[in-house]
Structure 1
Amino acid sequence: MSGLLKLMAEDAADLEIIGAAVQDALVRVGEINVDKRARRFAMLISRFRWEEAGATGPFERIRAALSFESVLGIKSRKVRLDSKEALASLLSVSFTPAEEPPGGIVRLVLAGGGEIELEVECLDALLMDLGATWQTPRRPDHEKA
């Protein structure tokens, strides 16, 4: 299993790299975990392997974990947290620093208008690939409306 990603982010520039790696990842609502006591937000995703994707394939996905530590609060909009089998595509991940660093807001934007906001004490994110890859017939296409 060579080529597994393990990326950490402690600032907005680091998070941009993670955001590029998780763009178009699929996430099942039931695989989002909030641990209020540990102040952790985590999700299992099926990540499209952009770093290996050519123009014509073969294309691959891999299971990965995306987590954020030091989470003070969570808000969601247009995300059916009660619908555990609902599937969403992760479009972007970004960080807006607070007026008084190191805290701020992490935004996870989902296809269809869904959004999850994490208020964090400081940016502490981890993306880690898990297991083996599998082939997928389609490359995500952002040109189609």
Structure 2
Amino acid sequence: MTQDATFEDGTAKPLRLVAMDIEDLQVLSALCQDSVFPATEMQWHRGKQRFGILLNRFRWEEIPKADRGKRTPERVQCVLAVENVQRVASQGVTQGDVDTILSLMSVTFDPDESGGGAVLLTLAGDGAIRLSVSELEVALREVTRPYAAVSGKVPDHKE
């Protein structure tokens, strides 16, 4: 008798996702929830029409609700890249401040009639970044191995 393979039998590979529609973006947004990053780790390359952030993503997929408190919480560094960016606007964000740490809550898309729209990065504490795009294309790519979360805690939204 053979036994089914389990997820643990596979070799872990870095996550690489691209969202080209709203449904894909919902998955990407869920993975990015509670990512943290210094304000200095955002960059807009106007000529390349690309906006990028180096995130420290919380690995929610590694801690099911039943196992919270039993497993060491992990983070992994990722690049979140938004393509086709025409304009960037922000609210409640102090750019370039090395002491400011931001927390990403969600990534959403507000389409317009032309096929473009706005990618909205909602931050904890009423901050937001609005990226006007000619078409939706958002990528998330892990660039380091997972590491134990410095805080040792799972993010809590009750506070």
* Aligned counterpart for 2:112 among listed residues 80, 98, 105: 98
Q: 1-side partners of 2:155 and 2:43: how far apart?
A: 26
Matched residue type, 2:53: M
The separation in 2 between residues aligned to 1:82 and 1:128, in whole angstroms, is 23
Match in the other structure for 1:125: 138
**Secondary structure of 1:30's partner?**
helix
What residue ranges of structure 2 are gaps of 5+ in the alignment? 1-10
Q: Which residue of 2 aligns with 1:139?
A: 154
Which residues in structure 2 correspond to 1:1-145 (within 5 Å)? 2-54=12-64, 55-56=68-69, 57-101=71-115, 103-136=116-149, 137-144=152-159
- 2:35 & 2:20 partners in 1: Cα distance? 21
Which TM-score applies when normalising by structure 1?
0.94
Calculate the TM-score normalised by the size of structure 2.
0.86
Q: 1:3: Cα distance to partner?
A: 4.0
Where do 4+ consecutive residues of structure 1 move more than 3 Å? none
Please say which of residues 48-57 and 1-10 is displaced more in the overlay. Answer: 1-10
Superposition deviation, residue 53 in structure 1: 1.3
Larger Rg: 2
Q: Size of the alignment, in residue pairs?
A: 143
Root-mean-square deviation (CA), in Å? 1.2
Deviation at 1:73, TM superposition (A): 0.5
AA matched with 2:98: K
Q: Which has the higher strand share?
A: 1
Paired with 1:96 and 1:18, the residues of 2 have a C-alpha distance of: 15
Unaligned runs of 5+ residues in structure 1 are none
